[in-house]
Amino acid sequence: MNLNFKKAGFALTLLAITSLTAWSQCKELKWPENKQKAEECVAIFGDAVKQQNFRGATSSIQWMLTNAPNWNTKLYVDAATAYDGLATKEADAVKKKVLVDSLMLIYDMRIQNCGDEVNVLNRKAASSAKYNINNKEKSAELLTMFDRVYEISGNNVNDNNLEAYMSVIFANFITQKPLPPAQKTLTEDLILGRYDKLIGVIEAKIKKAESENKVGDVEKYKKIKINVDDKLSKMVTINCAFVKKNYEPRFKQNPTDIGMAKKIFQYMLNDKCTDDPLWLEATEVVHKA
């Protein structure tokens, strides 16, 4: 089957705008008036997705999105799988963009028709970052999306959106770097505000993993935290005042954190405030390690 990329993207755009179905969780099967056609479409796209024949699934998926948008969550799971698969393999930049835009609209339609915003928006953000992290035209939109994820998810942000959030912040920082100060919307304070929120989520996950004795997860989150701190150091000036405000409270909570001790040791040494008791405490931890 030959997929007309422009028509596919346009069709999905219209569907996202015009869908008037009632809000539901799409857990039960809700068939349209033409149930026979719908059953045929479900069978076709289901088999096609299983066989990774993603192009062969699109026509039936689009029919269902048009005529039975709240049929079942499976429609959106398979639709996302199909369009993600097509976008991943597409080499033509224009066609790839249409597929990615269609994929984003599929996530939007799932939220509109089936709810579950926290789960779905986490998935959408991760998918959008996958394709748009290096697209300067999408930087601001991507940051807004991640901000929303962190606003509604509490500490239940998907793990793949932890370091990705800092990468999105960094991408916006790079995009705005050449601009005059008056034109920049990503100030150091706003960077630090997002950083604090992200670190809070990571530390909550570490605490939960420790309570459940999940050593592998603890190490994973600690590594993510190191990478997040490394990216932060490329965006803001980390001097003694910064260390005292942002790192000292975390170090006091966990004075055996060798990674944090090393950061405090190095940053305070660089800024020549080695007479501070905090530096001496961190130095002792580093030397004992």
pLDDT for residue 12:
56
270 confidence band (pLDDT: 50, 70, 90): confident
Q: Tell me the pLDDT tens digit for each residue of 227-245.
A: 999 999 999 988 899 899 8
Q: What is the rounded average pLDDT of the residues 117-122?
A: 97
Query: What local confidence, expressed as pLDDT, does residue 34 receive?
Result: 96
* CB atoms inside a 10 Å sphere around CB 45: 27
Contact 45, 57 (CB under 8 A): yes
Quick one: average pLDDT of 255-280? 90
For residue 8, what pLDDT band results from cuts at 50, 70 and 90? low
Report domain extents, the chain.
Answer: 1-115, 117-235, 237-289
Q: What pLDDT was estimated at residue 250?
A: 87
Determine the pLDDT at residue 70: 92
Q: What is the residue-averaged pLDDT of the chain? A: 90
* Distance, CA of 42 to CA of 39 (rounded, Å): 5
Amino acid, res. 191: I
| 66-to-14, 96, 105, 266 alpha-carbon distances in Å | 9, 22, 13, 59
Q: How many percent of the chain have pLDDT more than 90?
A: 77
Predicted confidence at residue 9, as pLDDT, reads 55
Is 89 in contact with 127 (CB distance < 8 Å)?
no
DSSP 8-state code for residue 71 = S
51 confidence band (pLDDT: 50, 70, 90): very high
Distance CA(19)–CA(77), nearest Å, equals: 18
What's the mean pLDDT in 1-20?
49
pLDDT higher than 80, residue 24 = no
Q: Name the more confident of 83 and 288.
A: 83
pLDDT of residue 11: 53
- Which CA distances in Å does 17 have to 10, 104, 136? 11, 13, 26
Residue 207: is its pLDDT beyond 90? yes
* E-strand stretches of the chain: none
pLDDT at residue number 139: 94
CB-based burial label for 264 (10 Å; 0-12, 13-18, 19+)? buried
Structure tokens at 171: 């991408």
pLDDT band of residue 189 (cuts 50, 70, 90) is: confident
pLDDT at 288: 87
Instruction: Give this prediction's pTM.
Output: 0.82
Q: For 124-173, what is each residue's pLDDT tens digit? A: 999 999 999 999 999 999 999 999 999 999 999 999 999 999 999 999 99
CA-to-CA distance for 232 and 199, rounded, in angstroms? 11
State mean pLDDT over 57-82. 97
pLDDT classification of 21: cutoffs 50, 70, 90: very low
Nearest to 104 by CA among 60, 152, 145, 55: 145
Residue pointed to by tokens 């045929």: 40
